[in-house]
Amino acid sequence: MRTRMRPRTKPIACRRCHARKVKCSGESPCEGCRKVGKLDECVYPRKDRVVQVSQQYIADLVAENERLRQSSLANEDTEPDREGAVLSETPWFVNTDTTHTPILVAESSDSAFATRFRQVMSSAQHAHLPRVHFPTDEALLELSDADCPWPSSARARLLVRIAIKCLGRCYHIVRPSSILEELECAIRAPSSVGIWPKSKLWAIFAIGEMYATKSPALGDAFPGILYFARAMRITRIVSERPTRDAVEILLLLSFYSLCLNRRHSAYSLAGSAVRTAVIMGLHLNIPVSQLSDACEREHRNRVWWTAYCFDRMWAAKLGYPTAIRDDEIEVDLPSNPIIEERSPSDFPDRDYFVARIGLSRLSGRIVHSIYGKPSPQPAFSLRVHEAFRDLRHWLEDLPVSLQIDPKHEGEMDPRARSLHLLFHQLVILATRPILLHVLRTDRESNPVPSSAVALADTCVRCARHSCQLLTDSWANGSFMIFDFFYTQYLFAAATVLGISGLLEGKDSQDDKEQFDVAVQLLSQLKCMGNYAAAEFHSHIDATERLMEITQPDAGGVITHATLDPITMEAKDDFIALSEPFLADLLDQPLSDLEFIDASMYLPDMYLGGDV
């Protein structure tokens, strides 16, 4: 059976001619309307056609519509509860006042976590605070063309030695003996020094000035920034035949850029250093027949691995991709070569550098695993346990000389301290989404699975230990005032301790006091001109305002039910992780964490600010 639908047949004349009952030429506009100047009234009605459709076709359309309606209702019933969730399921972009396109905010960044913390505390979509505490491009361009006098001979030697001591304890970028020889050549005959060695000295002066400054910066001048701007002039040319000097300069500029809180610049420069090193083949072993000098070979290897560490760590801070895959690297790890008499301090013991390379490699894996969006996506619980197993293996392989002795923490090797601070940061990175979820669940008076409590407790214990190491460093005068990493670790620990204080556990009062100490140190660093501290302190200010008006519900106490009380009491208060404790966590049942997978994520958001 067919149904015949017969719409009204419309005339072919325009509306004006049809109304006046005159013949219409059918043009657009028609001849009659053109003659009298009524072009805007020459409108033709739409002409419909008589169509035939089968009754079965109409029935099929109705059935399809009903099926789609039922499918939509089913999806709504199974949609996870996103209210108060702690991560974004898809990339998080923010709008800025200075660019035409949004900037990508990585969920792994400390500032993004602080924003999520505020959102969970008040169940509101608080805007991401803009990152405005850094020298602008325009300011640096102006400084790069300004007059920058060469420091006096005594000052130049002092700055180079300070840079070698402070930067060289953690990273191998330049050979001390070589850079000191280049400095002496520049002092004796400035005109004989090429543009690349001179630019490298400018960059080292900047880092030396930064480390040498212990008092507040004068005005808005960050220590060493004029030297840095002068050294940056070399980047206006991309070398077609790069030398090792080019890689070293890029690494020096990248490190200083991070201390300026210019994180995107630091990331770009570190990536350029890796790519420049790849052009030179530093990621591969060079045959002995082509480079027989063992010290030069070792310097070549260590420069590569420093570029690798910078690229991995900077990328982890921003949540961005790295410049090279691990399976593309074939060069040997650092070794202990036979040292020449002229350079006894050029190559410190390899153990520290190998350990840092291991942590740098893990940083990329953890960020990709915990915060990445792989398809298909493994369960969150599996990703967390995989990260913990990797960290445990690193801890098991750590040489005794780099382990922490609780009885002598105040006298520990600064290199060991930096390693453990980075280790704690990675544990915090892997577990703080769970801690934030525990806070949200606790504030809703819902039960928290035991394994989630154990992992959240691990996050808090690492924050406590980091805070203690940093305050000890401040007390003994070894805290680097303008160093980005110490400032970042302090902020990350403070945020976690702030959450722990809200949970009202048995140690919450101690955590609140440590939180206050960390905030005071950040405030002092801000007053001294530390750009990163100024940014982080703005997040702390916003968080404290919410903490004052948002108190946890009565009875919301988190207990450490899954942890062995005897084991816990036997440990030092600030030893956050050790092998037995980490093993206990790895033995927790995975099923207890499955609830997180369905409620961990937020819908897309565009919030005002920048990472």
Tokens of 423: 């280790």
Mean pLDDT check: name the lowest of 222-236, 271-285, 442-456, 476-490.
442-456
On the question of pLDDT at 60 being above 60, the answer is: yes
User: Taking residues 192-196, what's their average pLDDT?
Assistant: 88
Which carries the bigger pLDDT value, residue 103 or residue 260? Answer: 260
Residues above pLDDT 70, as percent of the chain = 74
Within 10 A of 66 (CB to CB), how many other CB atoms are there? 10
Q: Which residues of 216-243 are buried (b: 16+ CB within 10 A; e: fewer)?
A: ebeeeebbbbbbbbbbbebbeeeeeebe
Whole-number pLDDT of residue 97: 53
Which carries the bigger pLDDT value, residue 467 or residue 49? Answer: 467
Phi/psi zone of residue 133: left (φ > 0), alpha (ψ -120 to 50 degrees), beta? beta
Contact present, 229 and 180 (Cβ < 8 Å): no
pLDDT in tens, 215-266: 765 556 899 999 999 999 998 888 899 999 999 999 999 999 999 999 999 9
CA dist 439 and 217 (Å) reads 39
- Could you give the angle at which helices 110-122 and 484-503 cross, rounded to 10 degrees? 20
Whole-number pLDDT of residue 565: 32
Contact present, 423 and 578 (Cβ < 8 Å): no
Whole-number pLDDT of residue 568: 34
Q: How far is CA 45 from the centre of its chain?
A: 61
Count Cβ atoms within 10 A of the Cβ of residue 55 and give its class: 0-12 exposed, 13-18 middle, 19 or more buried: exposed
**pTM of the predicted model, to two decimals?**
0.78
Whole-number pLDDT of residue 336: 86
Domain ranges of the chain: 2-78, 409-604
Whole-number pLDDT of residue 75: 40
Q: How far is CA 157 from the centre of its chain?
A: 35
Contact present, 392 and 579 (Cβ < 8 Å): yes
User: Taking residues 521-530, what's their average pLDDT?
Assistant: 94
pLDDT in tens, 568-599: 333 333 344 454 555 555 555 555 555 565 44
Angle at 249 between CA 285 and CA 349, to 5 degrees: 55
Contact present, 2 and 55 (Cβ < 8 Å): yes
Q: How far is CA 140 from the centre of its chain?
A: 24
Whole-number pLDDT of residue 229: 95
Pairing mode, if any, of strands 103-105 and 601-602?
unpaired
Classify 372 as helix, strand or coil.
Answer: coil
User: Taking residues 493-515, what's their average pLDDT?
Assistant: 90
- Three-state secondary structure along 486-554? HHHHHHHHHHHHHHHHHHCCCCHHHHHHHHHHHHHHHHHHHHCCCHHHHHHHHHHHHHHHHHHHCCCCC
* E strand or H helix at 472: helix 450-475
On the question of pLDDT at 473 being above 60, the answer is: yes
Contact present, 360 and 313 (Cβ < 8 Å): yes
The CA-atom distances, in angstroms, between 15 and each of 19, 28, 40, 177, 455 are: 6, 12, 11, 94, 76
Mean pLDDT check: name the lowest of 94-103, 109-118, 161-170, 414-423.
94-103
Whole-number pLDDT of residue 231: 95
On the question of pLDDT at 185 being above 60, the answer is: yes
In which band, very low, low, confident or very high, does the pLDDT at 67 lie, cut at 50, 70 and 90?
low
Q: How far is CA 399 from the centre of its chain?
A: 29
Whole-number pLDDT of residue 76: 41
Tokens of 359: 């942590």
pLDDT in tens, 530-568: 999 999 999 999 899 888 876 644 334 444 333 333 333
In which band, very low, low, confident or very high, does the pLDDT at 452 lie, cut at 50, 70 and 90?
confident
On the question of pLDDT at 277 being above 90, the answer is: yes
Contact present, 304 and 273 (Cβ < 8 Å): no
Which carries the bigger pLDDT value, residue 592 or residue 108? Answer: 108
DSSP letters spanning 58-90: HHHHHHHHHHHHHHHHHHHHHS---TT--EESS
- Could you give the angle at which helices 450-475 and 414-443 cross, rounded to 10 degrees? 140
CA dist 88 and 466 (Å) reads 27
Whole-number pLDDT of residue 419: 92
Positive or negative: CA dihedral 62, 68, 72, 74: positive
On the question of pLDDT at 104 being above 80, the answer is: no
CA dist 591 and 415 (Å) reads 39
Whole-number pLDDT of residue 403: 83
User: Taking residues 122-149, what's their average pLDDT?
Assistant: 83
Tokens of 206: 């900047």
Torsion angle, alpha carbons of 410, 170, 326, 351, to 10 = -70
Q: Which residues, 6 or more positions from 201, have their beta carbon under 8 angstroms from its beta carbon?
A: 156, 160, 179, 182, 183, 186, 193
Contact present, 49 and 78 (Cβ < 8 Å): no
Contact present, 90 and 604 (Cβ < 8 Å): yes
On the question of pLDDT at 498 being above 60, the answer is: yes
CA dist 325 and 283 (Å) reads 11
Mean pLDDT check: name the lowest of 344-348, 377-381, 513-517.
377-381
Tokens of 528: 């001294």
Whole-number pLDDT of residue 204: 97
Mean pLDDT computed over every residue of the chain: 80
Nearest to 140 by CA among 5, 310, 315, 261: 261
Whole-number pLDDT of residue 95: 58
Mean pLDDT check: name the lowest of 18-27, 136-145, 559-568.
559-568
CA dist 580 and 493 (Å) reads 23
Tokens of 402: 């780099």
Count Cβ atoms within 10 A of the Cβ of residue 474 and give its class: 0-12 exposed, 13-18 middle, 19 or more buried: middle
Q: Which residues, 6 or more positions from 232, have their beta carbon under 8 angstroms from its beta carbon?
A: 140, 144, 253
Whole-number pLDDT of residue 514: 94
In which band, very low, low, confident or very high, does the pLDDT at 605 lie, cut at 50, 70 and 90?
very low
Contact present, 305 and 333 (Cβ < 8 Å): yes
Q: Position 60: which residue type?
A: D
Mean pLDDT check: name the lowest of 2-16, 194-208, 335-349, 420-434.
2-16
The CA-atom distances, in angstroms, between 284 and each of 92, 128, 280 are: 37, 42, 9
Mean pLDDT check: name the lowest of 9-18, 169-178, 363-372.
9-18
Tokens of 320: 């961005």
Whole-number pLDDT of residue 313: 93
